[in-house]
Amino acid sequence: MEPVERVTRHFQEELEQLKTRLLEMGGLAEENVRLAVQGLVDRDRSVIERVLAGDEPINRLHIEIDSRCFKLFALYQPMAADLRTIVAAVKINTDLERVGDLAVNIAQAAQRYATHPPVKKLIDIPVMAEIAQNMLRDSLDAFVRRDIDLAQHVLDEDDRLDALKTQIFRELLTYMLQDPSTIEPALDLILVSRHLERIGDHATNVAEDVIFIVSARDVRHGVQGRP
Amino acid sequence: MEPVERVTRHFQEELEQLKTRLLEMGGLAEENVRLAVQGLVDRDRSVIERVLAGDEPINRLHIEIDSRCFKLFALYQPMAADLRTIVAAVKINTDLERVGDLAVNIAQAAQRYATHPPVKKLIDIPVMAEIAQNMLRDSLDAFVRRDIDLAQHVLDEDDRLDALKTQIFRELLTYMLQDPSTIEPALDLILVSRHLERIGDHATNVAEDVIFIVSARDVRHGVQGRP
């Protein structure tokens, strides 16, 4: 095998490993979001505790993935689409780490929420959580498969998430105004819905990165720039 | 001049321009945070409008800085500290763009807040805003000057910001429980204090990046890794 060919093969192998690690991290973050919301709905302290303790593997992957990106930059000096992919990986890594933190924030709110009588049937919050988790999974699948259509689907879903957040806020505000005993637990549900909205924002960031990697087209801020 | 020397000089010039642009963007974001809080405290709709309209230059810089980073990666294939600096610039760029968005979120809350009678003297919120703005400025100065002590100072200030946020939350909760007419405006103040806390988090991210650039030491998640 020619030396150049061997370097290319090594680079592609390392790139595949990087993607696998990002998927792994995304899976852990998604699972923690699911558990945190389950802990909130079921008022299950043992599930909540698991989320609070479960951020550590995500943080370890965060550091490992950053290292892998540096190694790829330094050893292979990638160009064009490969360069865009690794820069995107650095950003996606940051987004996933924040999703892990948000799962912890949801678990903390769930912990407080469980100390009060429940405010309402939490139907909308699990719906929000499901949309946010699907957005996260789809955005990472879109990254790995370089699938622009799937990335675009994630961007569309973000509007649904925002609409649900606004609806939940209005409903909870009505409860708070009618019955002050609901103020404290309702505040926690408002926070949870905002955490879920932000998880959707991070998935949106990933989806925008995917469109940029594949098409070198910048869809952020409604601008159609070229790097 | 030797060709290699010329390339190095060009690279250093481009790197300086990149830093200047990041400082410019940080200055705009910081000014928008200041104006948004001023609009909240003074109930000044014209100031609030300025912030809502003022996010556009920040978004343009966001895209321009990303382009510059790609150019530096592709043309100069930087190594070691230079590589770490440019990867950090990509991350800092994302952080500053989010700070700009958070200034807009504060302005939106200020807009709603101005439609209700004021809940309380807003002494703590401007104090939080000042700490967050100083953290942001210090973190960027630390980046440009490669000043680890200043970066460490930013990390320390984040604890003060979190403590203030908790104190403001408790105080506002008391008002809401005593007088339901304060619920809606108090909710907006709670959101503003959380937005300010997140601005502090972004400054903290920048400070951690600075420590990593200068010492190649990863202080995130309490881990002392090496890339």
The distance of A227 to chain B (nearest Cα, Å) reads 5
Kindly identify which residue of chain B lies nearest to residue A68, measuring between CA atoms: B227
Q: Looking at beta carbons, which residues of chain A come within 8 Å of B225? A: 63, 67
Preferred mutation among B91, B104, B165, B182 to probe A, highest tally of A CBs within 10 A: B91
**What mean pLDDT, rounded, does chain A reach?**
93
Closest chain B CA to residue A177: B180
- A187 touches B at CB < 8 Å: yes
pLDDT for residue B12 is more than 70 = yes
Q: Is the pLDDT of residue B40 over 70?
A: yes
CB-based contact B87 A77, cutoff 8 Å: no
Counting runs of H as helices and runs of E as strands, what totals does chain A give? 7, 0
The rounded distance, in Å, linking the Cα atoms of B207 and B215 is 12
The predicted-structure confidence for B134-193, as pLDDT tens digits, reads as follows 999 999 999 999 999 999 999 999 999 999 999 999 999 999 999 999 999 999 999 999
- A91 lies within 8 A of chain B by CB: yes
pLDDT value for B155: 97
Reported as a pLDDT band with limits 50, 70 and 90, residue A226 is very low
- Domains, in order of start, for chain A: 3-222 (1.20.58.220)
Indicate yes or no: CB of B176 within 8 angstroms of CB of A177: no
Predicted pLDDT of residue B8: 83
The fraction of chain A above a pLDDT of 70, given in percent, is 96
Torsion of CA A104, A97, A35, A170, to 10 degrees: 70
Residue A206 exposed, middle or buried by CB count within 10 Å (0-12, 13-18, 19+): buried
Q: Which chain B residue's Cα is nearest to A80? A: B74
**Model confidence at B4: pLDDT above 80:** no
Subunit contact B173:A190, Cβ cutoff 8 A: no
Instruction: Please tell me the predicted confidence (pLDDT) of residue A1.
Output: 63
Residue A153 burial (C-beta neighbours within 10 Å; 0-12, 13-18, 19+): middle
Q: What is the pLDDT of residues B103-128, one digit of tens each?
A: 999 999 999 999 999 987 777 999 99
- In this prediction, residues A71-87 reach a mean pLDDT of 92
A180-194, A205-219, B14-28: range with lowest mean pLDDT = A205-219
A7 band by pLDDT with thresholds 50, 70 and 90: confident
Distance of residue A10 Cα from the nearest chain B Cα, in angstroms: 18
* Residues B19-37: b if buried by 16+ CB within 10 A, e if exposed: bebbbbbbebbbbbbbbbb
Which chain A residues have a beta carbon less than 8 Å from that of B74?
Answer: 79-80, 83
Chain A nearest-CA residue for B179: A180
Query: Sorting pLDDT into bands at 50, 70 and 90, what band is A223?
Result: low
In three-state secondary structure terms, A217 is coil
pLDDT of residue A100: 97
Among A76, A85, A86, A91, most B C-beta atoms within 10 A, so best to mutate, is A91
Of residues B66, B77, B84, nearest to A227 (C-beta) = B66
φ, ψ (nearest 5 deg) of residue A197: -60, -40
CB atoms within 10 A of CB A66: 22
pLDDT at B128: 97
Say if CB A37 and CB A127 are below 8 A apart. no
Average pLDDT over residues A29-51: 97
Residue B1 pLDDT grade (very low, low, confident, very high; cuts 50, 70, 90): low
Instruction: Give the pLDDT band of residue A227 (cuts 50, 70, 90).
Output: very low
Distance (Å, whole) CA B132 – CA B195? 10
Say what the pLDDT of residue B227 is: 43
What ipTM did this prediction achieve?
0.89
Q: Which residues contact A170 (CB under 8 A, 6 or more apart)?
A: none
pLDDT digits (tens, 9 = 90+) for A111-123: 999 999 998 777 7
- For residue A211, the tally of other CB atoms under 10 A from its CB is 19
* Residues contacting residue B198 through CB under 8 Å, at least 6 positions apart: B98, B102
Task: Give the tens place of pLDDT for each residue, A186-215.
Answer: 999 999 999 999 999 999 999 999 998 888
pLDDT category at A50 given cuts 50, 70, 90 is very high
A221 compared with A135, residue with greater pLDDT = A135
From the list B66, B221, B227, which residue is nearest A70 (CB)? B227
Q: Residue A218 forms beta bridges with which residues? A: A225
Indicate whether A225 pLDDT > 70: no
pLDDT at res. A216: 73
Interatomic CA distance for residues A29 and A34, integer angstroms: 9
Judge: B63–A180 Cβ closer than 8 Å, yes or no: no
Q: What are the backbone angles phi and psi of residue A53, rounded to the nearest 5°?
A: -85, -15
| DSSP H helical ranges for A43-123 | 45-53, 56-76, 80-113
Q: Give dist(CA B104, CA B8) in Å, integer.
A: 40
- Per-residue model confidence (pLDDT) at position B7: 77
Whether residue B70 and residue A60 make contact (CB cut-off 8 A), yes or no, is: no
Interface check for B62 against chain A (CB to CB < 8 A): the answer is yes
* B225 pLDDT more than 50: no
